[in-house]
Structure 1
Amino acid sequence: MARGRMLTVLGAAAAAVAVAVAATAAAAQDASEAVIADSSRDRPLPVPRGRRRTRIVGGRKITEFDRDAGSQFMATLYTPDGFGYYCGGALVSFEHVLTRAGCFTRVGDVVRVGGSRLFQGVKLKVIGVTVHPNFNSNGDQNDIAVLKVSGPSEAVMVRKGAVPVIMRQTLGRPHGFYITGYGAVDKKARTAGSLQLKRGYQPRNTWAECKEIFKFLKLANGQALPINEAAQLCTNYKSTGSGALCERDVGGPQFRTRWVSKNGKWVKVYELYGITSFWVATRSEKCPQGFPNVSSSVPYYYNWIRSAMK
C-alpha cells in the first residue's frame, strides 16, 4: 500500500463487505480490513533484471506479434539510471506520455516505449511533467499527468515499433477494457515484476456495484474515500477470471480495439479509455482478483490532456 494510505472496514461494515463478495473467490480472503493499493516512484523494482518473473494477476503473456497487445504504445517509467522501473504509461503522441499523477515522475526519468519485454523499446527522457492541478494524493482524485519526452525522430520511433494510441474523446458504453503491464502475477505480490509484458481483460462495473465495497472504506483521517463517478472508471469487481492490477501496473493504459475503414481497407485501431490508478486489496492478498480496480477516465480529462500537451 503506497504512502501509508489505509482504508479500513470495521465492525458491521466488515460483515457487509463479506456478504458483498460471498459469490466471488474473494470470499475466502480476510475482508475485515481492505486497503487501497498502488505504486509510485518511491518503490522502484529492486532486484536485478534477470530475476523478474511475474506479471498482471490472471492475465496472459503477449509478444509484439499479438495483434491486441498494445505493446506499441505501452510505456514503462524508470528512475534516471534506467533500471528502477516503477510505473506504466501510454504514448499519446511522439512527444508525450500519459501516466498517473501518483507515480510522481520527475524530469530526468527514463521512459521506454514499444517492444514486449521490460527494458526494451525506444528510450526517451522526461523533459517536462504536468500534473493535473487538482490532483489529491489522499484518495487519488484527478490522478493523471502528462509527460513531455525527448528522443529519436518520429520516423525512428515508428521503425522501432513505437506508435501513439488514439485518445478516446467519449466514453460510450464499453463492456470492459484491456490492461497491460509488468506487475506481479501472484495475488500476494511476493515477486517483484516481469520481463515479459502481460495483458488482461477487465469487465467494467457501475459505481452502484463498486460502492458495495467503497462505501465502507475510510481514509486514515476517518473521512470517506472520495469518488468522482464521471472522472473515474471502476472495473474487475466480482470478476475472478479477469486480469487484476498489481505492483507497478498502475499508470498504464486501459484500452479497446476496433476496426475502421481507411482508404478502402479495414484497419485495427487502438483507443485509450483510461489510465490505471489504484486497486482494492485485502490484508491477506495484495492483488486479489474480484475486487475493484480504478482508473482515471481519458474522455473525461481529454480537453485538459490536450491543453497540457501544447
Structure 2
Amino acid sequence: MARLTRSTTLIASLLLVAASFTAVAAANTVESSDRDSPLDAKAPRSRKGRIVGGRKVDDYDEDTGVHFIAKLFLPDANGFYCSGSVISKSGHVLTRAGCEPRVGDVVRLGGARLYDGVQAWVSKVSIHHQYDPAGDVADVAVLKIQGVNERELRRAGIVPVFLNRVWDNPHGMYFTGYGATDAAAQSAGSLTLKRAYLPVAPWWNCRRITDTILVPGLPGRGLPISPAAQVCLRGGRGAGALCERDAGGPMYRVDSNNGVKFYTLYAVSSYWVGLGPGNRCPRAMPNVGSKVAFYYNWIMNQM
C-alpha cells in the first residue's frame, strides 16, 4: 500500500494508511510507495504515455539512463514495486530505504520495458542506519545482487551510473520511472520507462508546503527536512511529477566530455507532496530526493 495520509481541514482527524510514514496538513498529503503496493503483471493496462507529464523512451534514446535503470520485484518476479540505479560493475543497486527491499527479491537490470533486462536476485540489503520513515531522511539503501556477473552486464549494455561526490547546485535533473501515469494514481503503471525533467527549487520555496504537513508524535512541527541531505525538485503546472512506484528511481544529470556523454546520479527519488485522494501526484508540488553526495562515503562502504 502506498504511504499516504490525508485530511480535509487543519482540525480533521488523522487517517493512518501506512504505519511507517504518516503526516497531515490541510489538503496536502505525503506520498511515496513501497513493496506493499506492487504492480502485478496481470493488472489492467489502462495507461497514458507519461510519468505524470513525462515522455516515453526506448532502449536507443539518448539521455534516458536506460543502461543503469534497475526494477525491483517481489520474489514471484511479477510484483513490481520500486526502481533503483545500477552503481557498480559487480552488481550493486542504489534505491530508497522506504521501498523496503528484501533478500530474495527479483531485480531486472536495464531495458526500457518493465519486464525486459537481465534478471538477478537481491542477496544483501544495507539500509542507512539513520533512516527515519518520519520524514524519510537518510532514505537510501544499497542492494547486493547475485545471479549475474560483470561480463553479462557488459554484454547487455548495462553500465553503472557515476555517483555525485560533491553537491554543485545543479539547475535541475532528469528523473525516470515506471509508476502510475495519472495524477490520481489510478492507472496500473507504465510498461515502458518514462522520463521528465524538473528544476531544483530552493528549500525556502518547498518548505512553504512541507512545513504545513504535521507529523504525529512531533507536535507543532512540520515535515522533518534536512537541506544538506535532501533535494527538492519543483516545476510549474506543465512539468512532470513523481507518482506511485516511481520511488527509489534515479534523479540524474547528463553531461558531455569531448563528445562522450556521461551520466551522474545526484539523488534517489524519495517522496512527493500530493493534494489528497483525487490528486495524489500533482504537478507543481515538491518532489523530494536523497542527495547521493551527502551519503557518498556510506554508499561506497557498502560496496
Alignment partner for residue 92 of structure 1, among 87, 95, 101? 87
| Residues 1:299 and 2:296 are matched in the alignment | no
Q: CA separation of 1:115/1:49 partners in 2, compared to 1, >3 Å: closer, same or farther?
A: farther
Match of 1:171 in 2: 167
TM, length-normalised to structure 1: 0.87
Q: RMSD value over aligned CA atoms?
A: 1.8
Quote the offset at 1:49 in angstroms.
5.8
| Residues 1:74 and 2:69 are matched in the alignment | yes
Q: Distance in 2 between matches of 1:192 and 1:277?
A: 20
Alignment partner for residue 29 of structure 2, among 12, 35, 38? 35
Quote the offset at 1:100 in angstroms.
0.2
Alignment partner for residue 184 of structure 1, among 170, 180, 183? 180
Q: CA separation of 1:243/1:119 partners in 2, compared to 1, >3 Å: closer, same or farther?
A: same
Alignment partner for residue 212 of structure 1, among 201, 208, 213? 208
| Residues 1:101 and 2:61 are matched in the alignment | no
Quote the offset at 1:229 in angstroms.
0.4
Q: What one-letter code is carried by the residue in structure 1 that aligns with 2:247? A: V
Q: Distance in 2 between matches of 1:152 and 1:57?
A: 33
2:293 match: secondary structure? helix
Q: Distance in 1 between matches of 2:186 and 2:52?
A: 12
Q: Distance in 2 between matches of 1:49 and 1:10?
A: 36
Q: Distance in 2 between matches of 1:152 and 1:49?
A: 28
1:72 match: secondary structure? helix
2:295 match: secondary structure? helix
Deviation per CA, 1:44-90, whole angstroms, max 9, x where unpaired? Answer: 11351672634410000001111111010011100011100000100
Quote the offset at 1:9 in angstroms.
6.3
Kindly tell me the number of residue pairs found equivalent between the two proteins. Answer: 285
Q: What one-letter code is carried by the residue in structure 2 that aligns with 1:113? A: L
TM, length-normalised to structure 2: 0.89
- Please tell me whether the aligned partners of residues 146 and 305 of structure 1 are also in contact (alpha carbons under 8 angstroms): yes
Segments of 5+ residues of structure 1 without an aligned counterpart are 12-30
Q: What one-letter code is carried by the residue in structure 1 that aligns with 2:81? A: Y
| Residues 1:126 and 2:122 are matched in the alignment | yes
Q: Distance in 2 between matches of 1:106 and 1:299?
A: 25
- Please tell me whether the aligned partners of residues 203 and 239 of structure 1 are also in contact (alpha carbons under 8 angstroms): no
Q: Distance in 1 between matches of 2:3 and 2:263?
A: 33
Q: Distance in 2 between matches of 1:7 and 1:148?
A: 39
1:157 match: secondary structure? helix
Q: What one-letter code is carried by the residue in structure 1 that aligns with 2:140? A: I
Q: CA separation of 1:3/1:50 partners in 2, compared to 1, >3 Å: closer, same or farther?
A: closer
- Please tell me whether the aligned partners of residues 244 and 288 of structure 1 are also in contact (alpha carbons under 8 angstroms): yes
Higher helix share: 1
Q: CA separation of 1:254/1:210 partners in 2, compared to 1, >3 Å: closer, same or farther?
A: same
Q: Distance in 1 between matches of 2:7 and 2:137?
A: 15
Alignment partner for residue 255 of structure 2, among 228, 253, 258? 258
Q: What one-letter code is carried by the residue in structure 1 that aligns with 2:166? A: T
Quote the offset at 1:178 in angstroms.
0.3
Percent identity over the alignment?
47
